[in-house]
Amino acid sequence: MLRKERSTSPPPDEIKRRLTLERRRLKRAQANLPICKVVRGDSLKVLCKWPDYCIDAIVTGPPYGIQFLGEKWDNDVPSEELWRQLHRVLKAGGRLLVLSATRTWHRMATRIESAGFHVEDEIVWIYGQGFPKHSSKLKPAHDPIIVARKGPVSDLNIDAARIREPRLGSQSKDRWPANVVFSHTPGCTDEKCQSGCAVDLLNSQAKYLSTSKSRSADLNNVSRFFYCTRASTRERNLGCENLEKKRKATFMDTLPSNRNSEAREMANFHPTVQPVDLMRWLIRLVCKPGDLVLDPFFGSGTTGVAANCEGVRWIGIEMDVNYCRIARARTRMRKRLAR
């Protein structure tokens, strides 16, 4: 078993033997779990009933604790007690990836660390299109993603998460992934970006700064980073065609002058739907095909949609009955989203 951290590594045969034992044990521990299902309930209560060391990785966008659009569930970041339960069910060497907000990430990271995780890194997800929430605040343009690990050092799946670089030709490897991710604006296509798109702004500035027209200078632009689009209306509603549409709250609702603005009705009316491509990349980084990933704050189920696309099994826990319905409908759409 890999339960204790060690300073010296054991011989290769011993590592192989332990890995085989660990795989068998994981299979047994997972036998009674609701695999590829959405569990309705409070994560803390649900997790208390699960065995130790039964999950390969945890990838989640939890409440940020910023009272987003006045949502009650967003009053605080998850408690240390909940992170402790997540630490218990995660396998040794397993990873936890947690989206957070610039205003509260420190509290999130402290609770994660106090629960027993090693906080290893932070991925910065830049989107450049948030709204300033108040005249005394800066416009949000990135979310920090906390990278943490349980117990012994283990490798990230660097090769699976490499950045496509077609211009390097078939001889070279794709680029080593960095801890920065950029989002295109919804509506950007391969040919043209929408105005104000963060990727486009950075690319054009890099080209402006580059004095040489040589190929190597061209490669200095930001295409070395991972890009994804923010969740488009089509992406968020895919699979929800038969669900009742409801009013989706937006930032405009929080402005006194916009209280009566025309509401947008949507089948997936979850206020914080994350992009499938971002979740796919995060899952690739910490899971191999066939692994089991847990999202204890499943919302409209984006992590499940992304896991389906990557051939990874998943479990989602969500306390809101309406969001569970949306998540079930979206995660059934596996084939239409898989590339």
Ligand X SMILES: C[S@@+](CC[C@H](N)C(=O)[O-])C[C@H]1O[C@@H](n2cnc3c(N)ncnc32)[C@H](O)[C@@H]1O
Residues that bind ligand X (CB under 6 A): 42-44, 61-63, 73, 270, 272-274, 297, 299-300, 302, 317-320, 323
C-alpha 194/C-alpha 198 separation (Å) is 9
From Zn ion, ligand X, none, interface partner of 297 (C-beta below 5 to 8 A by class): ligand X
Whichever of 66 and 199 has its CB closer to Zn ion, that residue is 199
Q: Which stretch binds Zn ion (CB under 5 A): 15-23, 83-91, 176-184, 239-247?
A: 176-184
Q: What is the nearest approach in angstroms of ligand X to the Cβ of residue 96?
A: 15
User: Smallest Cα–Cα separation from 318: which of 334, 304, 333, 307?
Assistant: 304
CB 245 within 8 A of CB 264: no
C-alpha 118/C-alpha 134 separation (Å) is 34
Q: Is 88 helix (H, G, I), strand (E, B) or coil?
A: helix
Residue from 2, 59, 99, 193 touching Zn ion (CB under 5 A): that is 193
Q: What is the nearest approach in angstroms of Zn ion to the Cβ of residue 222?
A: 11
From ligand X, Zn ion, none, interface partner of 316 (C-beta below 5 to 8 A by class): none
Whichever of 111 and 184 has its CB closer to Zn ion, that residue is 184
C-alpha 239/C-alpha 325 separation (Å) is 11
From ligand X, Zn ion, none, interface partner of 188 (C-beta below 5 to 8 A by class): Zn ion
Q: Which long-range contacts (CB under 8 A, 24 or more apart) does 33-37 make?
A: 33/292, 33/315, 34/315, 35/292, 35/313, 35/314, 35/315, 36/304, 36/313, 36/314, 36/315, 36/331, 37/315, 37/316
DSSP 194-247: PTT-HHHHHHHHHHHH----SHHHHTTSGGGSEEEEPPPHHHHHTT-TTSPPEE
For tokens 């605080």, what's the residue? 76
Whichever of 227 and 297 has its CB closer to ligand X, that residue is 297
Which residues, including other chains, have CB under 8 Å from residue 13's CB and lie 6 or more apart?
A: none
From Zn ion, ligand X, none, interface partner of 125 (C-beta below 5 to 8 A by class): none
C-alpha 273/C-alpha 230 separation (Å) is 9
From ligand X, Zn ion, none, interface partner of 320 (C-beta below 5 to 8 A by class): ligand X
Whichever of 66 and 198 has its CB closer to ligand X, that residue is 66
State the binding string over 249-288 for Zn ion (x if CB under 5 A, else -): ----------------------------------------
Residue 329 near Zn ion by CB under 5 A: no
Q: What is the nearest approach in angstroms of ligand X to the Cβ of residue 60?
A: 7
C-alpha 307/C-alpha 276 separation (Å) is 9
Which residues, including other chains, have CB under 8 Å from residue 314's CB and lie 6 or more apart?
A: 35, 36, 292, 293, 294, 295, 303, 304, 307, 308, 331
Q: What is the nearest approach in angstroms of ligand X to the Cβ of residue 316?
A: 9
Q: What is the nearest approach in angstroms of ligand X to the Cβ of residue 167?
A: 32
User: Smallest Cα–Cα separation from 96: which of 59, 50, 125?
Assistant: 59
Residue 333 near Zn ion by CB under 5 A: no
Whichever of 200 and 235 has its CB closer to Zn ion, that residue is 200
Q: Which stretch binds Zn ion (CB under 5 A): 110-118, 177-185, 216-224, 254-262?
A: 177-185
From ligand X, Zn ion, none, interface partner of 199 (C-beta below 5 to 8 A by class): Zn ion
Residue 181 near Zn ion by CB under 5 A: no
From Zn ion, ligand X, none, interface partner of 197 (C-beta below 5 to 8 A by class): Zn ion
Residue from 38, 55, 146, 188 touching Zn ion (CB under 5 A): that is 188
| Positions in the binding site for Zn ion (CB under 5 A) | 184, 188, 193, 197, 199-200
